[in-house]
Amino acid sequence: MRYLKGNRVVLGVTGSIAAYKSAELLRLMVKAGFNVRVVMTVEAQSFISPLTLATISGEKVLLNEFSDDAYKIPHIQEARNSDIIVIAPATAQIISELACGRADKLLTAMVLAARDTPVLIAPAMNSAMWAHPATQGNVSTLFSYGYHFVGPAKGELACGEEGSGRLVDLPIIMEEIFYLLHREKALDGKRVLVTASRTIEAIDPVRYISNYSSGKMGYWLARVARRWGADVTLISGPSELSPPYGVKFVGVESASDMKEAILDHFNSTDILFMAAAVADFRPVYKYNHKIKKEGSGTLLLRLEPTVDILGEIALRKGNKVIVGFAAESDNLVENALQKMRKKNMDIIVVNKIAGDFSAFGSDFNEVTVIVKDGSSYVSGRVTKEEAAEFVIDKVVRLL
Beta bridge partners of 371: 347
Cβ 308 to ligand CTP shortest distance, Å? 5
CB-based burial, 31-56: b 16+ in 10 Å, e otherwise:
ebebbbbbbbbebbbebbebeebeeb
Cβ 395 to ligand CTP shortest distance, Å? 14
Looking at the Cβ atoms of 207 and 341, the one nearer to ligand CTP is: 341
Does 272 contact ligand CTP by CB under 6 A? no
Does 75 contact ligand CTP by CB under 6 A? no
Looking at the Cβ atoms of 138 and 195, the one nearer to ligand CTP is: 195
Please tell me the distance from the alpha carbon of residue 53 to that of residue 42, in angstroms, as a whole number.
14
Does 282 contact ligand CTP by CB under 6 A? no
Please tell me the distance from the alpha carbon of residue 212 to that of residue 153, in angstroms, as a whole number.
34
Find the part of the chain contacting ligand CTP (CB under 6 A) among 4-12, 223-231, 235-243, 324-332: 324-332
Q: Which of residues 326-355 bind ligand CTP (CB under 6 A)?
A: 326-327, 339, 343
Q: Which of residues 80-119 bind ligand CTP (CB under 6 A)?
A: none
Which one-letter DSSP state was computed for residue 347?
E
Among positions 14, 99, 324, 387, the unique one binding ligand CTP when judged by CB under 6 A: 324
- Residue whose C-alpha is closest to residue 202's, from 252, 239, 264: 252
- Residue whose C-alpha is closest to residue 228's, from 3, 9, 389, 4: 389
Is 145:111 a contact under the CB 8 Å cutoff? no
Q: CB-based contacts of 379: which residues, under 8 Å, 6+ apart?
A: 1, 365, 366, 367, 368, 369, 386, 387, 390, 391
Find the part of the chain contacting ligand CTP (CB under 6 A) among 31-39, 79-87, 319-327, 377-385: 319-327
Backbone angles phi, psi at 81, to 5 degrees: -85, -10
Beta bridge partners of 150: none
Does 62 contact ligand CTP by CB under 6 A? no
Find the catalytic residue in 159, 263, 291, 399.
Answer: 159
Looking at the Cβ atoms of 21 and 343, the one nearer to ligand CTP is: 343
Q: Which of residues 285-314 bind ligand CTP (CB under 6 A)?
A: 306, 308-310
Find the part of the chain contacting ligand CTP (CB under 6 A) among 35-43, 48-56, 270-278, 287-295: 270-278
Find the part of the chain contacting ligand CTP (CB under 6 A) among 114-122, 202-210, 220-228, 272-280: 272-280
Q: CB-based contacts of 385: which residues, under 8 Å, 6+ apart?
A: 3, 220, 223, 224
Does 235 contact ligand CTP by CB under 6 A? no
Q: Specify the DSSP element, H or E, that contains 87.
A: strand 84-90
Looking at the Cβ atoms of 174 and 313, the one nearer to ligand CTP is: 313
Is 9:177 a contact under the CB 8 Å cutoff? yes
Looking at the Cβ atoms of 57 and 199, the one nearer to ligand CTP is: 199
Is 100 an annotated catalytic residue?
no
Does 200 contact ligand CTP by CB under 6 A? no
Looking at the Cβ atoms of 83 and 201, the one nearer to ligand CTP is: 201
Backbone angles phi, psi at 143, to 5 degrees: -60, -45
Is 329:353 a contact under the CB 8 Å cutoff? yes
Looking at the Cβ atoms of 39 and 322, the one nearer to ligand CTP is: 322
Residues that bind ligand CTP (CB under 6 A): 255, 274, 276, 278, 280, 306, 308-310, 324-327, 339, 343
User: Catalytic residues, which ones?
Assistant: 159
